[in-house]
A = this chain, B = another copy of it.
Amino acid sequence: MRIVRRIKEMQSFSKAMHRKGKTIGFVPTMGALHQGHLSLIRRARQDNDKVVVSIFVNPIQFGPQEDYKRYPRNLGRDARLCRSAGVDVIFYPDVTQMYPDSYKTYVCVVDLSDVLCERFRPGHFKGVVTVVTKLFNIVSPDFAYFGQKDAQQAIIIRKMVEDLNLPMKIKIMPTLREKDGLALSSRNIYLNQDERREACVLYEALRLARKLIKRGNKNSLDIIGKTRQLINQKKSARLQYISIVDLKDLRPVGKIKDRVLIALAVWIGKTRLIDNIIVNPKIMK
C-alpha cells in the first residue's frame, strides 16, 4: 500500500491505471475510520482492480464554530486499517496543496443544498461538493462509495456527478449501526458514557416514525411531533431538526404517500449527530 501526498503523483497513478484498463474504486474520507468506512472499502475492493482511499479533513465544509480543529486525526491507525482491508493507495494531501492562498473556485448544487443540514450549517455542502469535485478530478475513479448515513451529502454528490457529466458512478451503501442502533460515525468518540447511552435515541426516533407510517399514519407533522417528544425525554439530547422529505428533491412531504427520507440531527451534549432512514409506506413489514 502506498501513501501518496502529492496531487500530481496521485493523478499519474490513476492515469497509468486507466491506460492499463484497470478500474479504480474510491472512498473519500476525513479519516478516523470506523467499520462504516471499512464496509465501503470492502465493497470497493470487490468491485474494482484498484482501491484508493483519501484522508483529508476538509476545512471549507466546517463552520467557524464547528469541530474542524478537534476532528480526530490518526494516520497511523487509519493506514493499518486500510492496509488490512486491501487498499492500494491512501491519498493524503495537505491543506495548502488543496487550497493555496489564491484559491477561488466553488461548486454548488442549488435547491438540494438549502434544506435539512444546510439550514444549520450554511456553506457546508458547497464545501463538501467542491472538495469532492477536486478529489474526483485527482483520483478519476470509475466508482466512488458513500454511506447512506450522510444521505443529503450522497444525494447532492450524485446530482453533481450527473450534472457535470463526470465519467464515473456513485454507489451509496447502507448505514452500519452499533447493537443499540447508533449509526457509526467518527464523531461518536466525542460522547461520554451517559451521552453514548442516550445517543441511541436518534435511531429510536427514526424507528418510531417508521412504525407510525407502517401503521397508516400519513401526517408528517403528527409523526414529527411524536418523535420530538421521544427525543426530549433524554436528558442530554436536543433536537436540531427532524424532516420527512421527498427522496429526489429533498422538499418536505406533508402527506406521506410514497417513499420518503426521514432525516434528523440531534445535539447529544456538545456533539451533533445525524441519522436517517428511507421508508416506503406501500411496503408493509
CB within 8 Å of B: which residues of A?
7, 11, 15, 18-19, 21, 103-112, 129, 133-134, 137-138, 140, 159-160, 163-167
A167-B105 contact in complex given A18-B18, A19-B21, A21-B19, C-beta closer than 8 Å: no
Nearest CB in chain B: distance from A157 CB, A: 10
Q: Is the CB of A107 within 8 A of B104?
A: no
For the complex of A and B, the 6 pairs showing the least CB-CB separation, nearest first, are A105-B163, A137-B165, A138-B165, A11-B167, A105-B160, A105-B109
Distance in angstroms from A28 CB to nearest chain B CB is 13
Best-buried of A21, A138, A163 by chain B (most CB within 10 Å):
A163
Give the number of copies in the complex: 2
A133 to B130, CA, bound (A): 13
Between A and B, 24 residue pairs with Cβ closer than 8 Å are A11-B165, A11-B167, A15-B18, A15-B167, A18-B18, A18-B19, A104-B109, A104-B110, A104-B111, A104-B112, A105-B107, A105-B110, A105-B159, A105-B160, A105-B163, A106-B107, A107-B107, A107-B108, A108-B108, A134-B165, A137-B164, A137-B167, A138-B165, A140-B167
Interface centre among A19, A138, A165 (most CB of B within 10 A): A165
Q: Which residue of B lies closest to A112 (CB)?
A: B104
Distance in Å from the Cβ of A22 to the closest Cβ of chain B? Answer: 11
| Residue pair B106, A108 in contact (C-beta under 8 Å) | yes
Residue of A11, A103, A107 with most partner-chain B CB within 10 A: A107
| Nearest neighbor of A18 in chain B, beta-carbon distance | B18
The complex places the Cα of A207 from the Cα of B5 at a distance, in Å, of 48
Instruction: Determine the distance from Cα of A140 to Cα of B18 in the docked complex, in whole angstroms.
Output: 13
Note all chain B residues with C-beta closer than 8 A to A106: 107-108, 110
On whether the beta carbons of B104 and A159 are closer than 8 Å, the reply is: yes
When the two chains form the complex, which single residue of B104, B140, B163 contacts A104, counting CB atoms closer than 8 Å? B163
| Interfacial chain B residues near A105, Cβ < 8 Å | 107-110, 129, 159-160, 163-164
Q: Which of B21, B134, B160, B165 contacts A7 (CB 8 A)?
A: B165
Identity of the chain B residue whose Cβ is nearest the Cβ of A138 in the assembled complex: B165
Residues of B within 8 A of A160 (CB): 105
Of all chain B residues, the one with the shortest Cβ separation from A134 is B165
- A104 partner residues in chain B, CB cutoff 8 A: 109-112, 159, 163
Whole-angstrom distance between the alpha carbons of A140 and B133 in the complex? Answer: 15
Most central of A108, A111, A140 by chain B CB within 10 Å: A108
Contact of A133 (CB < 8 Å), options: B129, B159, B164: B164
Q: How far is the CB of A143 from chain B (nearest CB, A)?
A: 15
> Which residues does chain B contribute within 8 Å of A163, judged by CB atoms?
103-105, 134
